[in-house]
Structure 1
Amino acid sequence: MYLKSLTLKGFKSFADRAHMTFEPGLTVIVGPNGSGKSNISDSILWVLGEQSAKQLRGQAMEDVIFSGSSARKPVGVAEVTLVLDNSDHMLPVDFDEVAITRRMYRSGESEYLINSSPCRLMDIQDILHDSGLGKDTHSIISQGKLDAILQSRPEERRALIEEAAGISKHKRRKERALKKIKSMDEHLTRARDINKEIARQLRPLERQVDRARKYKELSSRANELTQMLAVDELRSLQSQWNDLESRSKEGAAELELAQYRLGEKERELEKLQVMLEEKGLFVGDLGEQRRHMQDVVGRINSDMRLLEEKGHNMVSRLSDMRGQISSSEHQRRRVVEELEDARAQLEEVTGAHMQAQDDVDAAGPAAAQLHERRVALD
């Protein structure tokens, strides 16, 4: 693998498109001070993902964009494309050439591309991990960095040696894995908190379900008892109705019998009056018999009034019984409506319980999967 070409456009002093081709071996760029030799190494460092403006000899990252001159207007975008020969497939991609491109606009937006396909900076770093290339590797030593390396502390030299030996990439992978584990622990803690909260909310719901179940059982039992009482009361009222109806029929029969007897007595009276007239009985005897017959008629009238009073009483009791039957029917309807309301409340509580149970079941596999991933990462 070697650096095959480098293309700059709008980067620092390269306002126009500049394309440089390199061959395997040693390549030297010679020029006077201020000609832009360091800008080439800065462009390589920048396209590999450098995020510090000081490492690029600038105050802000926007300084890498050509800011203009007396003869040229400033440009709005800086673009650098670095092409690596990957015929030996040292880089883990299925291409013989790997072109890494970075663009930056004056608005501060940046773009990374691998072989003209958009990607992330992390993707570029992952590809270059095992090749020894990168913004923090020993493969790029910019101006003044060699002297800093020679005068560096042992800890800084150790970091350089670890980078050269390929240890730092494993450290970065370890840091990423630790960050993922930390994030996983946070998600697991959150899942546990959610599970606890659901369990805490589930307990009162279970108690409500138990109360609703008991209420349903008691309501069902109360409904059965109410219906049994209503049936018994209806049967009793029906029996009383039948009894009163039979008494009414008996009273009517007795009234008809009394009227029949009264008619017979009247006919007997007429016969007696005819016999008295025919036989010429004394006025005294006739008067006595008349008084006797009037007494009989009075007793018959009294019996008739008594029978009529009994009939009125029977009609009044029959009206009262009809009112009781109507009240019992109204009470039965009210009990049925209360039962329907209780059933609606039970269905609502049952739906809440089923929703809470679904939430618990949905959170359970996620918590188990997070725990398994944590164990695997450990």
Structure 2
Amino acid sequence: MVKLNRITLQGFKSFRNKTTLVIGDGITSIAGSNGSGKSNLLDAFSFVLGKNSAKALRADKMEDLIFKSNNGESESAKVELEIDNSDREIKLDENVIKIERKINKQGQSTYRLNEKIETRQYILDLLREARISPDWINIVAQGDITKVLEMNPIERRQIIDELAGLAEFDEKKKKSEIELKKVDEILKEQSLLLKEREKLFQNISVEKRKVETYNELNSKIKKIRFSILKKNLDECLSKKERIGEKAREYEEKIKGIDKEIQDMDRTIEELENKLREYTKNIFRGSEEVKVIEEQEKVKSEIMKLENKINLNNREKERLEKYLEQISEINKPKAIKFLLGKEDILGTVEQILDCDPKYKQAIDVALGNTKNDIIIKSFDKIPTYIKYLKENKIGRAKFLPLDKIKGNVIQTPEGKGVIGNAINLVSFDEKFRNVVEYALGNTIIIDELENSKPFVNKYRIATLEGSLIEKSGAVLGGYKEQLFDENKIKKEIGHLTEENKNLEKELEKLNEELKKISKKREETSSKYAGIGKEAEKIEEEIRKIQEKRRKIYERKLRLQSELSDEKIKLARVEVEIKNYQDELSETELFDEVEEGSIPELKEKLRSYTHEINKLGPLNWKSVEDFEKYRSEYEDLKEKVEKIIEEKYAILKVITEIENRRKEKFMDLFEVVNKEFGDIYSKFTGGEGYIVLEEPGNIYSGLLIKARPKGKRLLGIDSLSGGEKTITAIGFLLAIQRCRPSCFVLLDEIDAALDSENTKKIIEVIKEFSKEQQYIIITHNDVTISKSDQVYGVVSENGISSIVGIKINQK
């Protein structure tokens, strides 16, 4: 058996300086205070043997294994293990084997075998032949005893599986099962094919009838689909006519109200003239006549202006609401959903403003880009696209402010050239990249006739709404519009501007009225009591004006209802266009199917269901009988051979299972015997391992013990010290069944009293005649029984091995 000679550390964990631990025969104990770095020696063994888990080496990441302190740090960590290979158990023609592993600050490892760089896997495979592995049970770290105690029965049984090398059987079984699955799939496929071929000749006429039935049903479905579209179209046309009639009724009513208002305005004017005449007659020649006439005139003007401003505001509100509604109709569904959401800044159309004379040219230059969504950043786009997909809302084009780039071309000189489109619109500067993307490559020209010199050089839009792409393609002609949004916007702008002027005029009149009223107060005492008739006339005027206000409000309600009907009309127009488009792509029939639309839809569902019930159709259903019989016989013979192959694989799987069970049970008995012997030496009692389900090698493994003078108990029912002794006995039994050249134990005696420690160390002492034992311990009993003892001390965070090898013989 191979032996360990020495291990050398440099820059590894707390061992900054080059430190060598010579390993002799028997038991080597390593003692030291807590935190001195004793357990780092165990980590060094695992590290040099190829352990790749930073967590298993008690580090967050592999580069943390490199020495580091407040006083400095190492550039790398290196561990070298020297092995005596005199008996050539390791298949390498060398008496001494040196394995070195070095890790740098990037966490990259380099392996050397006798100073020659090798791969980790090569070294692992080489050492495995001598039963040396960083993951084998001969290395028992702190807490491993507790892990054995905390293992569930299945995990304990898996230790026996690994020890017995059952992975080889599992791999063979897995391969056989994969082969079996393939054969089963082929068998299933061929059996289905065989069954199909067997029936094919008998079913020729049935398959032919299925095809004929399909053609009949498909023809009926086409006619029903045409009929549904046609009926829907006719219904929409009728609906359009009804809505149009209702809209015309509203328009007639509005005309009647307009006439009433005109009549009232005439009456008010007549009463105002009468009031002026009366005032003249009463105060003819008096000083106050002129003042009163002037005051009444100003009052009348103020009243008219206030009414006009109020009416303008209401009309403006109605038009804005109307514009908002028609704008909603024209927006795609996805755009409606996205506007107003977090991180959405609006559409391209919403951020732009321009002179009305350029509006048509800018609209055609933008095209569909006007509905592109401006979003704060690219990172936000996937969330919204995912939502649109999942909810089937539609599609949208996103322009992320942090990524979108545009290109602004140089404006050429020439006849009709107005300028670059981007220079004819106003916008917030934060959107410049978006506007450059949308309009930066387009020039505006007054008319199509002047565009020829610039074709193939520039993208061109004209004032009348034509678009010439740089490729030479031209878009132009009449574009049907259900609503003239530009006209409505102009009217709103006109009302706004008119009100500004009226309010200025009203302010002047109010100031003038104050002056006139003050002047009248100075002279009114002379003519007190002669204005009652005038007051009656003024009251009559107010009543008519109030009636006029109510009638006008009714007009506004009718206009609002008329707007609603026009919106309905627009929606119906969209439906009509959609149905017309669908009909243009549908097979046409001379007559429509009888029945209502719901009845036709039910028929359509029924016929579609019947077609689905037909299943796959065999369009080549007429074949020669002999041909199919020959194919059937050949296929039958092939299926019989596949079945024979399947049973052969099943037999192999059964044999593998039997051999696996036999190997497991052989080792199980050996481990059971070893455990019993070791436990007896520890306690003078009896120890056993049993399967939860006798005979079932996939069931859990139970550890039972009968301490001297006590009844038989499971490991979970033992006291703390008894559990620890039992777990140590189990681990040593496992090690004895597949012994490695060395056993490394880290403070397994920490929880034991001196009496139990003595019993365990005596057993280990006996075993150490065949294996090297390296024990990290605080226990004086363990130290006293060791063949050599080393001390580990730490000074300023740097560990070192002090003293000399001490033979305790």
Q: TM-score range by the shorter chain?
A: 0.3 to 0.5
Structure 1 length normalisation: TM-score?
A: 0.43
User: Going by fraction, where is helix more abundant, 1 or 2?
Assistant: 1
Tell me the TM-score normalised to structure 2 length.
Answer: 0.21
| Larger gyration radius, structure 1 or structure 2 | 1
